[in-house]
Amino acid sequence: MLFLIGMPASGKSTLAHKVSNLFQWQSADLDQEIQKLLQKSIPKIFESEGEIFFREIEAKVLRKIPVEPQKIVATGGGTPCFHQNIDYMLSAGKVVFWDTPLPVIVERILRHKAQRPMFAQKTNAEIEHFVQKLYQERLPFYTKAHFRAKEWSDIEKIIQRADF
């Protein structure tokens, strides 16, 4: 099983779908599993229950996703940084850091910021600064991954060479 980690808006959810379609792999999206379980959108969960509750549920749901070969799981941007989730993922499967360039991430967040609870209340300049800071804080977790991928060809190589 492959876990995708990386910044919010780096494209983890999109990439999991693409791998699933192209290689007929199973896929799962941790945020979607949480939304299904609680019958609430991620922004609503943040708003009504708060981040601490979200991180607890996130850690539990992560560990409930069945570990199977030829399966790719998109996690949330913060997943590896809480509740020893990175150690769990490193032991349960292979972990890929999807390292999209920060300017691309900033541009995507600015386009859809209303849907993202961490960014909705911030000005554009604040978002840019916040994304830089978040990247620096999270890099020590992200770089624990088995693989660091920057483009699609990196993903293809990982899928072809690793025995999952």
Ligand X SMILES: Nc1ncnc2c1ncn2[C@@H]1O[C@H](COP(=O)(O)OP(=O)(O)O)[C@@H](O)[C@H]1O
Ligand Y SMILES: O=C(O)C1=C[C@@H](OP(=O)(O)O)[C@@H](O)[C@H](O)C1
Binding residues for Mg(2+): 13
Question: What CA–CA distance (Å, rounded) separates 49 from 41?
Answer: 12
- Please state the φ and ψ torsions of residue 44, each to the nearest 5 degrees: -65, -40
DSSP 39: T
The one-letter amino acid code at 105 reads I
13, 79, 85, 100: residue in contact with Mg ion (rule CB under 5 A): 13
Quick one: which segment of 11-19, 35-43, 62-70, 119-127 binds Mg ion (CB under 5 A)?
11-19
CA distance 28 to 36: 12
Quick one: what does residue 99 bind among Mg ion, ligand X, ligand Y, none, with the CB cut-off 5 to 8 Å set by partner type?
none
Residue 149 found at the interface with ligand X (CB under 6 A): no
Nearer to ligand X, 12 or 94 (CB): 12
Minimum CB distance to Mg ion, residue 161 (Å)? 25
CA 2 to chain centre: 12
Binding positions for substrate: 31, 55, 77, 138
Of residues 19 through 38, those in contact with ligand Y by CB under 6 A are 31
Give CA separation, 41 vs 49, 111, 149, in Å.
12, 19, 29
**Binding of ligand Y by 80 (CB under 6 A):** no
Instruction: Give the residues lining the site for ligand X (CB under 6 A).
Output: 8-14, 74, 108, 112
